Chains A and B, each alone.
Chain A
């Protein structure tokens, strides 16, 4: 193996799949082979059986839909607030000087620690779930976008000035389009994190959603269901990431070759 030498696409696919196979084989071996107590870890087959029962009998797909709605609701809410603020901070230095210290501080406040407070304020309904995701995402988005916008290519800005752009024109027709792909990429990243926040929000004070199913299964030692829930989250995360990526590629063809 030579360092940095590329691998052929077919070999890449084979290698990628084979780790999944190995992983599941190892899991099957320690569970079906009786090497661990099944109370603590279900085997792959009973996981699938439990999962199927969940979907068909317990209407688990409703929980999945609720969780997806929460993630997107909270994420859209955070984006709508954070993107304009981030652009403003990046473009106008006084705005940055005013907000940056607070946002940097707020970013380190763990969203999960806010849950008790948010329950006090908003109850245990949908609003509280959305707010957890909002608190967890909004400051991250603001800061990343502010940094990206702040590093807009100066020569493009100068070129626009010599073509007669006003300050407003610079922001609207240079800074915003120049950073749009990076902003979209930031949102894709943060959407991934939103999936973690939603599950945490659903573990506490909830009566629906994937997280609720997981905490509910724990009290019944239904490890098959827990693992099924975790895998569902992973799959949806992967799918939404794929869709987001494809959407960005379609939206910004100029940023690719």
Chain B
């Protein structure tokens, strides 16, 4: 049985100033198996974030529906944890209070809550920063806290919307290893949106490549590279072959986006 089922989900935005409606997402069908790490790769503006937001319940699909454990998604909920590209830690809460937010909303007893929070502080390597406010943290540390905050809630699926997009290259590489390491140890169903080809391959057990707007699924590539994965994998021949193939796929779409730009502007 699939963990997540996306059935004919499409999204059309109303036209701006009397213009024609804009189709952001063609009907999408996708089945995600439990504990799979799926990356959704596509050029910017292809609707991949919209798809993720629909699964999260933050946006409604124009047609179709998505089902998590056979239950239709109608609104956001704690069973679908989300990490955003922008820094969304609550600035008035410390690192531990941020991680505890979901558990607190659920009304969990403080004792139990503190134990869980402490284990996630360790998991993302933030010991010593428990009482820092988000403002005092680097971008990478903020996103680590955000991942811990989402995971502490023990969601059925973890949704990540270009979570490392705002980070510098080195930090981004370290964050990829950190997240992948967590997934390898604690199996979780993950849907990870990115426009970075290397990132998409390195993280995934399966890469979904999307076309330019209106987005649809262009290809569905299984990544059979062994686990645990090490950053040196990125320079291996198998990795390079996959990268070459996906680069070709994505390049065609990026060019279509670039050509479509003047008409949209």
Contacts and interface: CB of A to CB of B under 8 A. Distances in A.
Ranked nearest first, the 6 interchain pairs of A and B with the lowest CB-CB distance are A164-B78, A163-B102, A161-B76, A162-B82, A159-B88, A254-B133
B86 A163 contact: no
Given A159-B82, A159-B88, A161-B75, 19 more contacts: A155-B88, A156-B88, A158-B76, A158-B82, A160-B101, A161-B58, A162-B80, A162-B82, A163-B81, A163-B105, A163-B149, A174-B90, A177-B93, A178-B91, A178-B92, A252-B92, A254-B91, A254-B92, A254-B93
A159 B87 CA distance: 10
A180 interface: yes
A159 B77 CA distance: 10
Interface string A138-175: 00000000000000000110111111111001000110
B78 A162 contact: yes
Q: At the interface, is chain A mostly helix, strand, loop or mixed? A: helix
A252 B133 CA distance: 11
A217 to B, nearest CB: 49
Interface of A: 155-156, 158-166, 169, 173-174, 177-178, 180, 252-257
Contacts of A253: 133
Contact of B92 (A160, A165, A177): A177
B135 interface: yes
A140 B128 CA distance: 44
Contacts of B150: 162-163
B101 A155 contact: no
A257 B88 contact: no
Nearest to A176: B92
Contact of B90 (A156, A252, A257): A156
B153 A155 contact: no
A255 B146 CA distance: 19
Given A178-B90, A254-B133, A169 B84 contact: no
A163 B101 contact: yes
B56 interface: yes
Contact of A164 (B77, B84, B136): B77
B105 A165 contact: yes
B86 A155 contact: yes
A253 B75 CA distance: 34
A174 B101 CA distance: 10
30 contacts: A159-B90, A160-B90, A160-B105, A161-B57, A161-B58, A162-B56, A162-B58, A162-B76, A162-B77, A162-B81, A162-B82, A162-B159, A163-B101, A163-B153, A164-B77, A164-B78, A164-B105, A164-B106, A166-B105, A177-B90, A177-B92, A178-B90, A178-B92, A253-B133, A254-B91, A254-B93, A254-B135, A255-B92, A256-B135, A257-B136
